């Protein structure tokens, strides 16, 4: 299909907000024998194909992320 651009949106919890999922993962890795792991955060990946990549930021602001509690990063 012409014009379709593949994009990835990475959504992560805003810094400073308690992230118990990240903490749980950070605790679990050493138990499996992996040392030196820190600063773990768990977010979400959204993959999509879009006609107009300029619309991506608005998609993120309105639906894909909640700007109060999440940061997002767009990759095309």
Partner 1 sequence: MKFGVVRFPGSCDDDDALLAAGRVGEATILWHADRDLQGVDAVVVPGGFSYGDYLRAGAIARFAPVMEEVAEFARDGGLVLGICNGFQVLCEAGLLPGALLPNVSLRFVCRQVSVDVIHADTAFTCACEAGQTLSIPVKHTTGRFYAPDVELDRLDSGGQVLLRYAPGQNPNGSLRDIAGVCNEHGNVFGLMPHPEHAVDPLTGSSDGLSIFESMRAHVAGRVLV
CB atoms within 10 A of CB 28: 12
Residue 65: CB minimum distance to partner 1, A: 8
Between 20 and 33, CB nearer to partner 1: 20
Can residue 21 be called a binding residue for partner 1 (CB under 8 A)?
yes
In 3-state terms, what secondary structure has residue 14?
A: coil
8 Å CB contact between 7 and 74: yes
Binding mask 1-20 for partner 1 (x = CB under 8 A): ----------------xx-x
How buried is residue 65: exposed, middle or buried, by Cβ count under 10 Å (0-12/13-18/19+)?
buried
Which residues contact partner 1 by CB under 8 A?
17-18, 20-21, 24, 44, 63-64, 66, 68-69
């Amino acid at each position: 299909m012409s014009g379709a651009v593949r994009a990835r949106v990475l959504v992560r919890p805003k810094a400073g907000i308690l992230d118990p999922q990240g903490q749980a993962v950070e605790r679990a890795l050493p138990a499996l024998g992996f040392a030196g792991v820190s600063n773990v955060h768990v977010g979400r990946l959204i993959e999509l194909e879009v006609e107009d990549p300029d619309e991506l930021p608005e998609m993120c602001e309105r639906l894909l992320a909640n700007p109060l509690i999440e940061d997002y990063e767009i990759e095309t």
